[in-house]
Structure 1
Amino acid sequence: MSHLPIVRSPWRTLILLVGYAFLYTPILMLVIYSFNSSRLVTVWASWSIKWYQVLVHDDVMIRAMTLSMILAASTATMASVLGTLSSIVIVRFGYFRGFNGFEFMLTAPLVMPDVITGLSLLLLFISMGNSIGWPEERGMLTIWLAHVTFCTAYVAVVVSSRLREVDQSIEEAAMDLGATPVKIFFIITLPMIITAIIASWFLAFTISLDDLVIASFVAGPGSTTLPMLVFSSVRMGVNPEINALATLILIAVGMIGFMAWWLITRKEKQHKHEGQRSSRN
């Protein structure tokens, strides 16, 4: 059977290049201007690492970045656990009383405006503090609880879509052989959905790191996150130090993303080889 040659249209290549340029040119300009010695971010003077040196000695910026990184990592971890468990309940437990309500409440933060979410959580924390005395004050804990609340929905959607693709007959065969549900999850189900969990972890990490509106509502004194600090400083003019900070974050996130992509690709190749080997046998 003859295969028709694939015709590569120049228009397709041009549209692809224009799309990439539209997405990544602003980021490239930000990286270039982070090495600008001028205080004016729109006026090029000369190449310099001046603003990286200023950033190293800026305790306020470093404190805000450290707080945001810790919050994002802890939020992504807890959201991955809760989102994975919720997706298992939705996909594997079947229909039960309150199923529709549970699914609706789980995915509601996806379509809820950030202003409403932040305001409702603020009122909740104030009411809890007045009634039971916890939390005593708004700070890192309240930001973490708020971020876990809406990041869990993103994790549940990603993991649920992957879990529906898993062949359930393998799990049923393991149960017939006497395996417990917990053992089936860790031995069979978890390795099959681990790539989706990793991807959802990075998604939750990015969403938490990027959040400004909700954190502004539930934050307290001494718990200023990086987006809050950047937003407050940008209103008085763009500081070249922010370009240097953004460049370092891009490098760090890019390295982590590349490692995650490599691990996911390696895992998928292993599953593909194992599937081919089992089909031959």
Structure 2
Amino acid sequence: MTSTTAAKVRKIPPGPLEYLRRWPLQAWLVLVGIFLYAPLVSLMAFSFNDSKRNIVWQGFTLKYYVKALNNDSLITAFGNSMTIALCSTVISVVIGAMAAIVLWRFRFVGKTAFNAGLAIPIVVPEICMGVGMLVFFAKVLPWPHNLPWPLDLGNIIIAHVSFSFPFVAVVVRARLASFNRELEEAAKDLGASEFRALMDVVVPHIQPSLIAGGLLAFTLSLDDFVITFFTAGPDTITFPVKVYSMVRFSVTPEVNAASTILIVITVLLTFLALKFQGSGALTAGHGADDK
């Protein structure tokens, strides 16, 4: 291709549906990105500020990260958040996968209502769900607060599972939409039982979505504040609630450091979830067929 031809190709105007090649939309996307992420970037930048007054930059330091990591109550709260997130993730993946398989495979009375009910925790405002959980654990299922750790976190784990597993079900169900039912029938024809066909054929196909849904549930649980605030007992506190209690007194670089740690963990887990769902989930099981 000659330079003249290449220049003509580069000067081809964008088509009517090529919106991202139009500079007004590109400028708008840049402005939206700045609006969304500038506060987070400034928070992370000021976590390295060598000043007790958070709005005045005095120099670069890591002492507030050291101070945050040596804060026993903050470490305890982080341990509670990790325990709750891990437990709720395991339970949410199991329940969410089972719900997705039931909706995908079977026809039964009330399936539409069950499907709609599965979406309620996703669309209901979190504050409403938090108040509902408060009433539930106060009147319907009072949870004792003198239990040994981690049993004292049981009410928070149940609350987190209630809003996490529908997200797992949505992800797994989307993956099941691309499954070829003939593979399962072939496994049964070769002598596999119903359970064996499920574990050897269906589960490997949905494995990327299980991982992605688990990481999504872990991130949602680790970040949750509203529902945890309403369900936590007087002796249990999680990392987001602890950061909120620190902010109530003053926004110091230590608060920024603790928030930055949580942001970094959340971003990494979200990136992994998107990677497994976006690339692994789309290519798993199809590589050999595409060659």
The TM-score range, normalised by the shorter chain, is 0.7 to 0.9
| Offset of residue 76 of structure 1 | 1.5
| Offset of residue 114 of structure 1 | 2.5
CA distance in 2, matches of 1:215, 1:151: 13
Task: Name the CA shift for 1:251/1:227 in 2 (closer, same or farther; >3 Å).
Answer: closer
Query: Is 1:68 paired with 2:81?
Result: yes
Match of 1:104 in 2: 116
- The answer (yes or no) to whether the contact 2:216–2:269 under 8 Å persists in 1 is no
Match of 1:91 in 2: 104
Identity of aligned residues (%): 33
2:195 partner letter: V
- The answer (yes or no) to whether the contact 1:35–1:47 under 8 Å persists in 2 is yes
CA distance in 1, matches of 2:233, 2:273: 34
Task: Name the CA shift for 1:262/1:99 in 2 (closer, same or farther; >3 Å).
Answer: closer
Task: Name the CA shift for 1:196/1:266 in 2 (closer, same or farther; >3 Å).
Answer: closer
Match of 2:288 in 1: 274
CA distance in 2, matches of 1:122, 1:11: 47
- The answer (yes or no) to whether the contact 1:84–1:156 under 8 Å persists in 2 is yes
In structure 1, stretches of 5+ residues that fail to align are none
Query: Is 1:237 paired with 2:245?
Result: no
Task: Name the CA shift for 1:262/1:106 in 2 (closer, same or farther; >3 Å).
Answer: closer
CA RMSD across the alignment: 2.5
Task: Name the CA shift for 1:210/1:262 in 2 (closer, same or farther; >3 Å).
Answer: closer
Task: Name the CA shift for 1:90/1:115 in 2 (closer, same or farther; >3 Å).
Answer: same
Query: Is 1:54 paired with 2:67?
Result: yes
Match of 2:149 in 1: none
Match of 2:17 in 1: none
2:121 partner letter: P
1:251 partner letter: V
CA distance in 1, matches of 2:221, 2:241: 12
CA distance in 2, matches of 1:266, 1:181: 26
Task: Indicate the larger mover: 27-36 or 268-277.
Answer: 268-277
TM normalised by structure 2 equals 0.82
CA distance in 1, matches of 2:284, 2:122: 34
Match of 2:132 in 1: 120
Q: 2:197 aligns with which of 180, 184, 190?
A: 184
TM normalised by structure 1 equals 0.84
Runs of 4+ in structure 1 displaced over 6 angstroms?
Answer: none
Task: Name the CA shift for 1:211/1:263 in 2 (closer, same or farther; >3 Å).
Answer: closer
DSSP-derived class of the 2:201 partner: helix
- The answer (yes or no) to whether the contact 1:129–1:137 under 8 Å persists in 2 is no
Give CA deviations for 1:29-78 in whole Å, capped at 9, x if unaligned.
22211110111222111111121121122111111111112211221221
| Offset of residue 127 of structure 1 | 3.4
1:137 partner letter: H
Task: Name the CA shift for 1:113/1:10 in 2 (closer, same or farther; >3 Å).
Answer: closer
CA distance in 2, matches of 1:98, 1:257: 34
Match of 2:168 in 1: 155
Task: Indicate the larger mover: 181-190 or 7-16.
Answer: 7-16
